[in-house]
Amino acid sequence: DSGVTQTPKHLITATGQRVTLRCSPRSGDLSVYWYQQSLDQGLQFLIQYYNGEERAKGNILERFSAQQFPDLHSELNLSSLELGDSALYFCASSRGRTGELFFGEGSRLTVL
């Protein structure tokens, strides 16, 4: 158990819909990262937060947004969903801005 909690574990929805994925980092970890893993794109970095502030942005679509709240949990919002958004979405956390990442078990999104 990494200590990172992601909900929901599985989510099935239709094209055009909006979903919110939630992540609770390990106790004391200030950095939160979001990754998307699909068969054709591999593991893609989406966005990183540190202590509530956005630190780095990767290949995150404009239809996607994220935030980190004062209690350090984070949410990833995916809107106007397309079939290609079907993937495993991972959240990870780390104590600071360097060092090992601790990954959650992921949220598997299926868009039909």
Partner 1 sequence: SQQGEEDPQALSIQEGENATMNCSYKTSINNLQWYRQNSGRGLVHLILIRSNEREKHSGRLRVTLDTSKKSSSLLITASRAADTASYFCATGPFGNEKLTFGTGTRLTIIP
- Binding residues for partner 1, rule CB under 8 A, total 28
How many angstroms separate the CA atoms of 55 and 75, rounded? Answer: 15
Question: Should residue 28 be labelled a site residue for partner 1 when binding is judged by CB under 8 A?
Answer: no
Binding part of the chain for partner 1, among 10-18, 61-69, 70-78, 93-101 by CB under 8 A, reads 93-101
**Non-local CB neighbours of 84 within 8 Å, separated by 6+ positions:** 38, 111
Residue 84 DSSP SS3 = helix
Question: Should residue 25 be labelled a site residue for partner 1 when binding is judged by CB under 8 A?
Answer: no
- Report DSSP letters for 24-77, one per residue: EPPTT--EEEEEEEETTTEEEEEEEEETTEEEEE-S--TTEEEEE-TTS-EEEE
Nearer to partner 1, 35 or 78 (CB): 35
Question: Should residue 55 be labelled a site residue for partner 1 when binding is judged by CB under 8 A?
Answer: yes
Residue 98 DSSP SS3 = coil
Question: Should residue 105 be labelled a site residue for partner 1 when binding is judged by CB under 8 A?
Answer: yes
Question: Should residue 49 be labelled a site residue for partner 1 when binding is judged by CB under 8 A?
Answer: no
Residues that bind partner 1 (CB under 8 A): 2, 4, 31, 33, 35, 42-43, 45, 48, 55-56, 58, 88, 90, 92, 94, 96-106, 108
